[in-house]
Amino acid sequence: MTDPKLPVLISAEKIQARIRELGAQISADYPQGDLYFICILKGACFFMTDLARAMKRDVSVDFMGISTYGKGKTSSGEVRLTKDLDISIEGSNVVIVEDIVDSGVTLNYLMHVLDQRKPHSIRIAALLDKPERRLRPVHVHYSGFQIPDRFVVGYGLDYAEKYRNLDDVCVLDAE
């Protein structure tokens, strides 16, 4: 859906075109071997399902739940694992699929957690990246769009669990 009150930052068309590029790029980078997308709930599930369908090869999926933000716009600074993987990633190629990298606290933590499980390789795909806000180093191998320091919603991203099902990424700064 669309919300006429919210200014669009990245249109649904641009998002889908970029995802097709990322799907082709990731497919080319992993010509063989098993490949797992690990979707970080809940925000990334919209991105992950479109990215998986943009792939030119088979990909398996699993989900992890991480909580950092509570209900507001600012981080609590505390990372909590709310749902773990169902599968073992030992020896597998893993791409963590995230909606947005902001401070980097979540993904920095997650990289350490998953590294200990001895995957063959591990990379990050993030639809959005706010590099200005970084507090912890995170290397985003597959980045959809770099955006300025604005609070955005839509295409999976929420404010207090609202707006996730907008087709576009919109700006919510004014509220």
- The residues annotated with a catalytic role in the active site are 102
User: By CB under 5 A, is residue 43 in contact with Mg ion?
Assistant: yes
Neighbours of 146 (CB within 10 A): 13
Q: Which does 22 bind (CB under 5 to 8 A by kind): ligand IMP, Mg ion, none?
A: none
Taking the least distance from each CB to ligand IMP, the nearer of 30 and 151 is: 151
Binding to Mg ion by residue 104, rule CB under 5 A? no
Peptide bond into 71 cis (omega under 30): no
CA dihedral 97, 58, 94, 45 (to 10 degrees): 20
Smallest separation (angstroms) from Mg ion to the CB of 110: 10
Asked whether position 154 contacts Mg ion by CB under 5 A, the answer is no
First to last CA, the chain: 20
Q: Are 126 and 101 in contact (CB under 8 A)?
A: yes
Residues paired with residue 66 on neighbouring β-strands, in sequence order: 81
| 69 is a site residue for ligand IMP (CB under 6 A) | yes
CB closer to ligand IMP, 118 vs 136: 136
Q: Which residues bind Mg ion (CB under 5 A)?
A: 43
Q: Where do contacts with ligand IMP occur on this chain (CB under 6 A)?
A: 43, 68-69, 75, 98-106, 151-153, 157
